[in-house]
C-alpha cells in the first residue's frame, strides 16, 4: 500500500463531529434483547439482565456523561415492567381484532404492527427524558424491520392497533388517543417541512376510537379527527372532522370489459 493511500485513510479516520460514536452492530442486538429477552423472556437469551443493562449503559457512555448515562439506564430499565404489561395486553388486542391471527405468541413474534408499536414504546421512554440519538435509532430500527415509521416523540394512547402497516408514517407531534385502528400506507403528517417549525405542533390529533383505512393522508397541526370517526381509504384530509363522522371517496371507479386478443396475447 502506497504512503499516499495510507495518509488518505488516516485522514478519513480523523475524528470529527460527524464521527459515529458507537458501532451499529453493537446496538441492534441490544434492542432486540430488550424486547424479546427482558420483556418477553424468550429461552436461550442473548444477554442476561445485568449484562443487558451493562451493554446498554456502555452505548450511552459514548453519547452522554457517565452520571447521566447511569440515570437514563436505571430509569429505562425500571420502566420495562410496565411496558411488558402494556404489550401483553396489546397482543390480546391484536388477536381480538385480526381474524387471521392464531395466537398472541404469533402476534408477538411475527406481526410488524406489533413490533413497530413495541419499539415505539421503548423509544418514547428515552425521548421523554431527552436521551440523544437513541430514540430515533430505535424508531429507525423498527422502520427498517417493518416499513412503519413512528417518530419517538409522537403521543400514542392505549390499545393502538396497526393492521398490516407497511408505509405508515406518524410524525413527531402527532397525538393519538385510545383504541385507534390504522391500516397500511396511512400518513399522519405536516403540511410542509421547515426547521423554524421545530417547536410547533405540525401533525394531526386523532381522538379516541377512530379508524383510519389504507392510504389515507391527514395533515396539519390544527387538524383534529373527532372521536369514533371512520376515515375511508385514500382520502386526503387537511381540516378537522367532527366526532362520529364517516369520510370516504365518492368518485365512482370506471369498469370496462376486457377484449383479449389471444393470437397476439395482449389486452385492450
Same domain? For 170 and 118 the reply is no
Note the pLDDT of residue 260: 67
Same domain? For 28 and 136 the reply is yes
**Any domain includes 201:** yes
Same domain? For 143 and 226 the reply is no
Same domain? For 98 and 34 the reply is yes
The tens digit of pLDDT for each residue in 16-38 reads 888 899 999 999 999 999 999 99
Q: What is the arithmetic mean of pLDDT over 250-259?
A: 77
- CA geometry: angle 39, 43, 44, nearest 5 deg: 115
**How does DSSP assign 194-211, residue by residue?**
-GGGTTS--S-EE-TT-E
Same domain? For 124 and 28 the reply is yes
pLDDT higher than threshold 90 for residue 141: yes
Q: What is the arithmetic mean of pLDDT over 253-257?
A: 78
The tens digit of pLDDT for each residue in 49-83 reads 999 999 999 999 999 999 999 999 999 999 999 99
Describe the crossing of helices 80-97 and 112-128 by its angle, rounded to 10 degrees: 150
Rg (CA), the chain: 23
**Any domain includes 173:** yes
| Whole-number Å distance between alpha carbons of 117 and 59 | 23
Counting every residue written for the chain, the total comes to 268
Same domain? For 185 and 203 the reply is yes
- Placement of cell 407531534 in the chain: 173
Name the nearest CA neighbour of 238 among 186, 202, 205, 191.
191
Note the pLDDT of residue 182: 99
* Grid cell digits, residue 35: 424486547
| Whole-number Å distance between alpha carbons of 17 and 222 | 37
pLDDT higher than threshold 80 for residue 258: no
pLDDT higher than threshold 70 for residue 114: yes
**Any domain includes 63:** yes
Q: Which of 92, 125, 148 finishes a domain?
A: 148
**Any domain includes 266:** no
pTM of this structure = 0.89
Name the nearest CA neighbour of 29 among 188, 141, 146.
141
Look up the CATH number of the domain holding residue 56: 1.10.3130.10
CA dihedral 22, 28, 31, 35 (to 10 degrees): -170
Please tell me whether residue 148 adopts helix, strand or coil conformation: coil
**Cβ(233)–Cβ(214) below 8 Å:** yes
**Any domain includes 259:** no
| Phi (first) and psi of residue 19, to 5 degrees | -70, 130
**Any domain includes 43:** yes
Same domain? For 118 and 235 the reply is no
Q: What is the arithmetic mean of pLDDT over 171-182?
A: 98
User: Which residue range(s) make up the domain with 205?
Assistant: 154-250
Note the pLDDT of residue 194: 82
What total of structural domains would you count in the chain?
2
| Whole-number Å distance between alpha carbons of 106 and 113 | 12
Which stretch of 44-48, 113-117, 208-212 has the lowest confidence by average pLDDT?
44-48
| Whole-number Å distance between alpha carbons of 142 and 79 | 19
Same domain? For 131 and 108 the reply is yes
CB neighbours of 55 closer than 8 A, spacing ≥ 6? 26, 30, 47
Amino acid at each position: 500500500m502506497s504512503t499516499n493511500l495510507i495518509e488518505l485513510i488516516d485522514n478519513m479516520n480523523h475524528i470529527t463531529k460527524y464521527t459515529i460514536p458507537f458501532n451499529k452492530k453493537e446496538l441492534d442486538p441490544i434492542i432486540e434483547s430488550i424486547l424479546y429477552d427482558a420483556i418477553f423472556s424468550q429461552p436461550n437469551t442473548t444477554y442476561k439482565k445485568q449484562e443487558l443493562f451493562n451493554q446498554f449503559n456502555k452505548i450511552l457512555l459514548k453519547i452522554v456523561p457517565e452520571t447521566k448515562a447511569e440515570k437514563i439506564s436505571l430509569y429505562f430499565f425500571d420502566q420495562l415492567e410496565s411496558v411488558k404489561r402494556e404489550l401483553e395486553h396489546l397482543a390480546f388486542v391484536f388477536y381480538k381484532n385480526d381474524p387471521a391471527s392464531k395466537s398472541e405468541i404469533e402476534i408477538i413474534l411475527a406481526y410488524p404492527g406489533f413490533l413497530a408499536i413495541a419499539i415505539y414504546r421503548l423509544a418514547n421512554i428515552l425521548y421523554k427524558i431527552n436521551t440523544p440519538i437513541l430514540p430515533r435509532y430505535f424508531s429507525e430500527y423498527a422502520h427498517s424491520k417493518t416499513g412503519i415509521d413512528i417518530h419517538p416523540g409522537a403521543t400514542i394512547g392505549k390499545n393502538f392497533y396497526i393492521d398490516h402497516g407497511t408505509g405508515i408514517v406518524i410524525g413527531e407531534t402527532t397525538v393519538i388517543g385510545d383504541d385507534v385502528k390504522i391500516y397500511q400506507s396511512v400518513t399522519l403528517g405536516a403540511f410542509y417541512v421547515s426547521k423554524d417549525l421545530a417547536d410547533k405542533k405540525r401533525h394531526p390529533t386523532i381522538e379516541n376510537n377512530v379508524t383510519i383505512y389504507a392510504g389515507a393522508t391527514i395533515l396539519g397541526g390544527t387538524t383534529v379527527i373527532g372521536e369514533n370517526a371512520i376515515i375511508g381509504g385514500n382520502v386526503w384530509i387537511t381540516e378537522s372532522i367532527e366526532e362520529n363522522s364517516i369520510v370516504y371517496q365518492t368518485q365512482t371507479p370506471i369498469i370496462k370489459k376486457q377484449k383479449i386478443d389471444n393470437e397476439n396475447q395482449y389486452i385492450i
